[in-house]
Amino acid sequence: MQDKIKLEICCGTTCYMLGAAELMTIEDTLPDAWKDRVDVFAIPCMDLCTREDIGRAPFVRIDGEVMGNATLETVHRALSKLLPIEPEEV
C-alpha cells in the first residue's frame, strides 16, 4: 500500500471565506476506502493569493501539488486519480 496522501487546505482569511471552511469537512465526505489513506491539514496561510498562474482562492495542496479554485468536488476528483476506489469497495 502506498503512503498516505497529504491534503493541505489553506485556511487564511481569503481562502476560508471563499470555501475553505466547507473544504475542512472533506473527511466526512470521503469514501470509506479513502478515510485511512488521506491526512488532512489546515494551513494558516499558503501565501498563494498573489499567484495568478494557479487560479484563485481557496487553495489546497495535494502531495505538494497546488490546486486553486478548490471545491469538495474538484478535490475528490483529484484524490480519485491517486486513490481509485476498487470495484468491490463502491
Concatenated DSSP letters of 25-40: THHHHS-TTTTTTEEE
| Percent of the chain's residues with pLDDT above 90 | 80
Cβ atoms of 19 and 1 within 8 Å: the answer is no
- Give the CATH number of the domain where residue 56 resides: 3.40.30.10
pLDDT tens, residue by residue, 10-32: 999 999 999 999 999 999 999 99
Give the range of the structural domain holding residue 23, as residue numbers without chain letter: 5-89
Give the model's confidence band at 3: pLDDT under 50 very low, under 70 low, under 90 confident, else very high. Answer: confident
Number of domains in the chain: 1
Q: Give pTM, 2 decimals.
A: 0.88
Mapped onto helix, strand or coil, the DSSP state of residue 88 is helix
